[in-house]
Amino acid sequence: MSELLKTAVIGDSASVSGFSALGLSVFCETEADKISVLINKLASSGFGVIYITEPAAALAVDTIKKYRSRRLPSIVLIPAVGGNTGEGMRGLHETVEKAVGSDILK
């Protein structure tokens, strides 16, 4: 089984505009409610991977958590222009803790 899916980038315009040159669908959004709505909409309309900047992700934590256990889409946190908040790495540590019982990556 194979299907063709699109890739999206969500975040503030300074962080994400470069991705449009690569052919990704770019959405500039910085309001909490709109980000959640957008993620839900993208997930149900054929997007396989959603890259989201860490500050934007911090506004829609619950929505992102909801998609963690689904097969698709894969939501990946990327650092924004303002710098790396370490939220993406924290997600990784959470995954390890869930699987192993304690964080062994430290």
User: Is 20 a binder of other proteins (CB under 8 A)?
Assistant: yes
4 is written with which tokens? 């063709």
User: Is 96 a binder of other proteins (CB under 8 A)?
Assistant: yes
- Choosing from 12, 24, 32, 40, the residue that interacts with other proteins (CB under 8 A) is 24
- Choosing from 44, 62, 99, 102, the residue that interacts with other proteins (CB under 8 A) is 99
SS3 at position 96:
helix
User: Is 89 a binder of other proteins (CB under 8 A)?
Assistant: yes
Contacts of 9 (CB under 8 A, 6+ apart): 16, 19, 24, 25, 26, 27, 50, 51, 52
Cα 71 from Cα 95, distance rounded (Å)? 15
- Choosing from 3, 44, 62, 102, the residue that interacts with other proteins (CB under 8 A) is 3
What are the Cα distances from residue 35, in Å, to 9, 79, 83, 103? 11, 17, 20, 30
Nearer to other proteins, 5 or 33 (CB): 5
Site residues (vs other proteins, CB under 8 A): 1-7, 14-15, 17-24, 48-49, 51, 68-69, 71-72, 74, 76, 78-81, 83-84, 88-89, 91-92, 95-96, 98-100, 105
